[in-house]
Structure formats: structure tokens, C-alpha cells
Amino acid sequence: MCGIAGYWTTQGGEASAMHRILGQMTGAIAHRGPDDSGTWVDSAAGIGLGHRRLAIIDLSPAGHQPMLSPSGRYVTTFNGEIYNYTALRADLEAVGAAPAWRGHSDTEVMVAGFEHWGIEATLARCNGMFALAVWDRRERVLLLARDRLGEKPLYYGRMGGSFLFASELRAIEAHPEFDGQIDRGAVGAFLRFGYVPAPHAIWHDIAKLPPANIVRITDGGRTVGAPQPYWRLEDVAKHGIAEPLTDVAAATDRLDVLLRDAVGLRMIADVGLGAFLSGGIDSSLIAALMQAQSAHPIKTFTIGFDDTRFDEAPHARAVANHLGTDHTELYVDAATTLDIVPQLPLIWDEPFGDSSQIPTFLVSRLARSAVTVSLSGDAGDELFGGYNRYLTAMQIADRASRVPAPFRSAIARLLSARATKQVAEAVNARLPTRLRHLGLSDRLGKVAMTIADPDPIAMYHRLVSHHADPASMLVHGEPYPGVLGIVSPSLGDHRAAMMYLDTLTYLPDDILTKVDRASMAVALEARVPFLDHRVVEFAWSLPMAAKIDRGVGKKILRDVLMRYVPRNLVERPKMGFAVPVATWLKGPLRDWAEALLDPTRLAEDGILDGNRVRAMWDNNLAGRGAYHTQLWDVLMLQAWREARANDGSPPALTVSSDLVDA
């Protein structure tokens, strides 16, 4: 795992100056690769590539980047892992296309593949996660590419006379021609979703490269082509639904073998590795498949919380004991957790509002104290139907559609009434502690809107929206840039459509962004076996009944897991990876929030409507509604802006002992 950066300028440049600028850019993302750094420059062409290395496979200098292909035609800077690189290496050797290997890194195999198969054909053969830049010295073309599902980030755009790209925005901000102007439309999108969705970025003139795409840059960086897909989820989904597997028992056997192979490939490393373990279906299955292929106890890591509403540690401990893993569990108190909050805008260099970023960072920090690679159970929900919105929301919509519209409107008004919410809040307060996180009053508004308009796709957009009208929060009311030009193809099942949209939006822009930044902040490589593209393609070939059965999601994953772990250890209500934001904002974080929401500061910023923000804050404190999710987004935006307020330069993020040592 690494960090990449580079630029192509129309103004040319002196080699030493270009190396210095690249050093500034890569230095800004040194946390992504503390083991080595490198720059490569063609001053005549005005192009330079930079790299920061976290050494995982082939720890020797033979893995140094930027790396030239055997003939010297291609120069690449690469962030990620190609898990099937040994098979690709054997393929090259079998046809006599292998060079005299310098080492055994996956990057060396990949650049050799570029010369034999071509860039796009090589990427199509790769099983991995990656973001990369390739400079074709013969054709004078720069290509950027990103993995199929978006595990690794890549930003790019033109500033002044230069084309810039990097793994993180802070590296782009370190370039002398960076002229940051906040994209107000992106702010609106952030307030709606809690993340800035691709292809947008928080800065004007900068974009995220969508997953599974390649973009070509020519003419000294002046001409930037439209991203072109080399793999399409739409094709995968349509093909799988058109030709579904019919024998679910045989499919369960196949999934067991396929996941075992996906996990095994992701256990290849020349450094220590382990797994995040929450004790839920997904992480328990990944840990079980790792342990089944290891001659020694694998290392597993769990964070525990004193607040039992959010504590999954006992469940993880039970699974770890059954599997016989070398389990590390760390309980963190509220003070320790809250200490992370000021670091959030440094770790996420773009506004990011998913509060599960905090425990994700904490478990990454814990794992990094013992290993350099950790496997994660992310993406099981999107692929196998695990989210509640695929289940209960569709049931509500189906039943509501049978009710005449006037009655639906009346019911929606009743559910939206303040008195109803007060009753829900009172009921919620009397629920068992383990169920209070469900937030009954918070959910009533979305249920009401679903009843009023049960169209499934419209319902999906409401369910994933933190704020129904983000433009109203902005000074100039800029509309957010829609979800996002992505329309689900006709898949015959609204639940499949929701999974499709989640896989293209929420998964890469929220879940995988969260995991990437949290892990990379402490120089930990996180690997996601469920995102092996063979698993993704297999999941789409399953009938919906293999995913959702009698109101329970991830049926086939559960069936595979029960071959390794007793049912009673993992069958429990879904908790998520949450923290008590609502309680914090009324207690220990109140002063911090008050300072960020100061009316004078909001007025000076000129982006958010201070009156609306303050009204939301006051109503939340007074109990006139639960707005903690929307307020957390606003606070993350304001904290991100404050971190850059002094001189506009990107704040430093260093991998130090206080980050790494648990």
C-alpha cells in the first residue's frame, strides 16, 4: 500500500525544481508510505511522478517506485496490491514475455504486463485494489486508472498551467499552483449524504476518478479525456440476473470455495497480517476462512466500548475463542474516543460525516501496533443484502402502495407530528439499552416520507439522505449535483436496484473511503476479500432468495459461516459500528460544537446559512427534534475548514507513536 502523486505542466521545468515540488506533494501523504519515497521526472516533457511506499510484498529496493517497465517505455506510480501477481508472472513466463526479474514485487509484474498485453488488458487480468498513473514515454500519454470497486482513491484535475493527480487532496494542495475554491455544489452533496460523492470533490476543478475507469491525458496535460470503464457493474448485474444460479446448495459450496480463495490471496504478504473482528457475520466469516488456511493462530483485533449500546467486543471475543485466534481486545473510554475528534479533519482530508470513522480509526490503530496488513469484512452488506433498508423499508413501501394516496398522506402527517415524535422518544428511552441506538424518533420522518411516496427508488434516495433539502442550508442555495447521474438499470427487483446503487455510491465514497483513510493514517494496509471481483460477479448471479430469506439478509453468507462458527455465536441484531454522537453533542462535545457553530464564524465563511444552522443546533439541544446526524455533517465540514484556515496549506498528518501505539 502506498501513496501516489504527480503533475504535468505546460510550462516545462527544471529537473531539480520538479523533484522538489514532487517531494512536497508526496511528503504531504508520507503517512501512506513511511518506508520509502521516490520521484521520477522528464523535465523536457514537463511531467513528474512521485511515490510513497508502504512495503508489503518484496521489501527490498527492487520494489522502489516510480518503476519503469522492462523496455523503459512505461513509467508507473502505483498504490495497491495485485493479489494474483504470481499467476500473472507465470503467464508471462509461459509465453516468453518475462523480463529478467529484478525482484518479486507485484508492481514489477504489472509493468511487464503493460508491455506484453497493454495497459487496459493487463488491468482486466488483475485481481486487486489499486490506483495508478502510467506515463507512456513513446506516445506521450498519461493514463490514470482505479480498481473495479473503488478501494483505492484517486483525485485529479487542472490548476493553473498544470494537470495534477494524487491519492489524497492534501498532496494536490501542496502543489504551488493549487488555488483552492470550495465547490458549493459538492458541499450540498456532502450535507445530503455525509460524504462528497464521485466524481465530485470538495475543490472546484478537481474530480475523483470513478471506480473501474481509465482516463487519458494528452497535450501537456491540457486535454483530459472522459473516464472510460474497463469493467462495468451494470453488465455484471444484468448478466447475473439474466442467468441466475438455480441450485442454492451448490452455490453455497461454490461461495465457500471462492471466498476461501479470495481470502487466501489476500493473506499473501511479506509482513505481519491479521483481521478486524466485530463478531458479526461478515468479519467472523473472513476471520474463519483465514484461520482455516493458517498453520498458526491468526491475529484478530476488536475495539470495545464502555457504552453497551455500541459494544461488540463480547461477541468478537466469543468468535475468536471458538476459532482459536490470537485475539487483541482494547476497551476505550469516552475520553479516549473523544480525543480522536480533533484529528478527524486531518485524517479525512475532505469533509466526511460518517461517525463510524472514529471506531474504524481506533481499531486500525490497534491493529497497526502488531501487524502491517489487516483483512476487513466490508462489502458483505451491499453484495448479499445485509442493510435494513433492503428489508424493512421495502416491506413498508409494499404495504403502503396498497393504501389509497389520501390515507397515506394522513398517516404520514401523523407520523411526522411533533407529538408522535415525543412519544417515540419516550418509548426509545425505555427500551433495553442494547436497542436504544435504533433511534425510533429519528426513523419516523423517513418512514413517513416512505408512506407518502412509496416509489422504491425515490424511497432509496430518501433513506440514504442525511438532509432532505441541503440547498436550504447554503447561503446561495446551490443544488447538490444529483445521485449522481447514476440510474439503476432494470433489474427486476427493487432490492437489487438498491444494492446496485449502494455498490456504486455508498460503498466506494463512504465505506471504502472510511477504511482507506483510517487505515492509511497509521500506515496499515486494509484488504477487503468480499471485493474480489469474482465474488462480486458471483453475488450478482445469486437469486434474491439466497440473499434475503423471510426478512433476514445475507442468508447464503450465514450458511457458509455456520460451517465454521456455531449459529448462536453470530445470530444477533445488526449493530453497525456506531458511536453516541447524539449524547456527545449535548455533553462533552458541546463546547467544541458551539465554537465551530459560532454565528460570526458562520457569517464570515459565507457558505452555510448561519440562521438555519443555529436553529437546528438550538432545537437539537432543546429536544425539539433529533438533528445530530445533520449537525455532525456540519461540524465535520466546519472542522475541515478550520484545519485549513491559517494559511490555506494542507495540515500535516504524521505517523507517530501516539497514533500507532494502542
Q: What is the mean pLDDT of residues 549-565?
A: 95
pLDDT, residue 560, reads 98
Whether residue 576 is predicted with pLDDT greater than 90 in this model: the reply is no
Please state, as a whole number, how many other Cβ atoms lie within 10 Å of the Cβ of residue 566.
12
CATH 3.60.20.10 domain position(s) in the chain: 2-231
Cα 430 from Cα 112, distance rounded (Å): 64
Q: Is 640 exposed, middle or buried (0-12, 13-18, 19+ CB in 10 A)?
A: buried
Q: Does domain 232-387+507-662 have CATH number 3.40.50.620?
A: yes
Residue 590's pLDDT band, with cuts at 50, 70 and 90, is: very high
Cα 115 from Cα 122, distance rounded (Å): 9
Residue 570's pLDDT band, with cuts at 50, 70 and 90, is: confident
396 vs 248, residue with greater confidence: 248
Cα 422 from Cα 441, distance rounded (Å): 7
pLDDT, residue 409, reads 67
pLDDT, residue 476, reads 77
pLDDT, residue 657, reads 36
Whether residue 71 is predicted with pLDDT greater than 60 in this model: the reply is yes
pLDDT, residue 374, reads 98
Can you read off the three cell numbers belonging to residue 660? 500507532
Whether residue 39 is predicted with pLDDT greater than 60 in this model: the reply is yes
To which residue does cell 484556515 refer?
645
337 vs 158, residue with greater confidence: 158
Q: What is the mean pLDDT of residues 293-300?
A: 97
CB-based contact 398:561 (threshold 8 Å): no
Please state, as a whole number, how many other Cβ atoms lie within 10 Å of the Cβ of residue 179.
12
The 10s digit of each residue's pLDDT in 306-346 is 877 778 899 999 999 999 999 999 998 888 888 899 889 98
Cα 133 from Cα 25, distance rounded (Å): 15
Residue type, 313: A
Catalytic residues, by residue number, are 2
Residue 22's pLDDT band, with cuts at 50, 70 and 90, is: very high
Q: Pick from 447, 509, 500: which is nearest to 481 by CA?
A: 509
pLDDT, residue 335, reads 84
The 10s digit of each residue's pLDDT in 624-641 is 878 999 999 999 999 999
Please provide the distance, in angstroms rounded to a whole number, between the alpha carbons at the two ends of the chain. 21
Q: Which of 213-217, 300-304, 311-315, 356-360 has the lowest mean pLDDT?
A: 311-315
φ and ψ at residue 308, rounded to 5 degrees: -65, -20
To which residue does cell 455465536 refer?
569
- Give DSSP secondary structure letters for 240-270: HHHS----HHHHHHHHHHHHHHHHHHTT--S
Residue 407's pLDDT band, with cuts at 50, 70 and 90, is: low
Whether residue 615 is predicted with pLDDT greater than 70 in this model: the reply is yes
CATH 3.40.50.620 domain position(s) in the chain: 232-387+507-662
Q: What is the mean pLDDT of residues 539-552?
A: 94
Cα 52 from Cα 25, distance rounded (Å): 10
Cα 180 from Cα 205, distance rounded (Å): 9
The 10s digit of each residue's pLDDT in 366-403 is 999 999 999 999 999 999 999 988 887 677 767 766 77
pLDDT, residue 647, reads 47
φ and ψ at residue 535, rounded to 5 degrees: -70, -45
Q: What is the mean pLDDT of residues 43-62?
A: 96
CB-based contact 186:200 (threshold 8 Å): yes
Please state, as a whole number, how many other Cβ atoms lie within 10 Å of the Cβ of residue 297.
13
To which residue does cell 482530508 refer?
349
Q: Please count the CA atoms within 13 angstroms of the CA of 658 that sit on its side-chain side.
A: 6
pLDDT, residue 423, reads 57
604 vs 296, residue with greater confidence: 296
Which 3 state secondary structure label does DSSP give 299? Answer: strand
Can you read off the three cell numbers belonging to residue 376? 476487513
Residue 426's pLDDT band, with cuts at 50, 70 and 90, is: low
Tell me the binding residues for L-glutamine.
106
Q: Which of 15-29, 75-89, 288-302, 603-617 has the lowest mean pLDDT?
A: 603-617
Please state, as a whole number, how many other Cβ atoms lie within 10 Å of the Cβ of residue 407.
11
Q: What is the mean pLDDT of residues 129-149?
A: 98
Q: Pick from 471, 410, 412, 468: which is nearest to 444 by CA?
A: 412
**pTM for the full predicted model:** 0.92
The CATH T-level fold of domain 2-231 is Glutamine Phosphoribosylpyrophosphate, subunit 1, domain 1 (3.60.20)
Angle subtended at Cα 306 by Cα 301 and Cα 309, rounded to the nearest 5 degrees? 95
Residue 193's pLDDT band, with cuts at 50, 70 and 90, is: very high
Cα 621 from Cα 619, distance rounded (Å): 5
pLDDT, residue 450, reads 65
Cα 134 from Cα 77, distance rounded (Å): 7
- Give DSSP secondary structure letters for 495-520: HHHHHHHHHHTHIIIIIHHHHHHHHH
Tell me the binding residues for ATP.
303, 376-377
Whether residue 13 is predicted with pLDDT greater than 50 in this model: the reply is yes
Residue burial 415-426, b: 16+ Cβ < 10 Å; e: rest = bbeeeebeebbe
pLDDT, residue 36, reads 96
Q: Which of 221-235, 286-300, 488-502 has the lowest mean pLDDT?
A: 488-502
Q: What is the mean pLDDT of residues 69-75?
A: 97
- Counting residues of the chain whose pLDDT is more than 70, the rounded percentage is 86
Q: What is the mean pLDDT of residues 101-126?
A: 97
Q: What is the mean pLDDT of residues 33-37?
A: 96
* Rg of the chain on CA atoms, in Å: 24
The H or E element spanning position 165 is strand 162-166
Can you read off the three cell numbers belonging to residue 637? 465540514
Q: Residue 2 forms beta bridges with which residues?
A: 53
Which 3 state secondary structure label does DSSP give 547? Answer: helix
Q: In the predicted model, what is the mean pLDDT of the chain? A: 89
Q: Pick from 106, 93, 92: which is nearest to 59 by CA?
A: 106
Whether residue 544 is predicted with pLDDT greater than 70 in this model: the reply is yes
Whether residue 231 is predicted with pLDDT greater than 80 in this model: the reply is yes
The 10s digit of each residue's pLDDT in 442-489 is 666 666 666 666 677 777 888 888 988 888 899 876 655 554 456 677
410 vs 343, residue with greater confidence: 343
Q: Pick from 352, 27, 5, 79: which is nearest to 202 by CA?
A: 352
Cα 300 from Cα 281, distance rounded (Å): 15
Q: Which of 420-424, 472-476, 499-503 has the lowest mean pLDDT?
A: 420-424
CB-based contact 304:271 (threshold 8 Å): no
Q: Is 230 exposed, middle or buried (0-12, 13-18, 19+ CB in 10 A)?
A: middle
Tell me the binding residues.
106, 303, 376-377
The H or E element spanning position 412 is helix 405-416
pLDDT, residue 444, reads 64
Q: Please tell me whether the peptide bond between 199 and the residue prior to it is cis, using omega within 30 degrees of 0.
A: yes
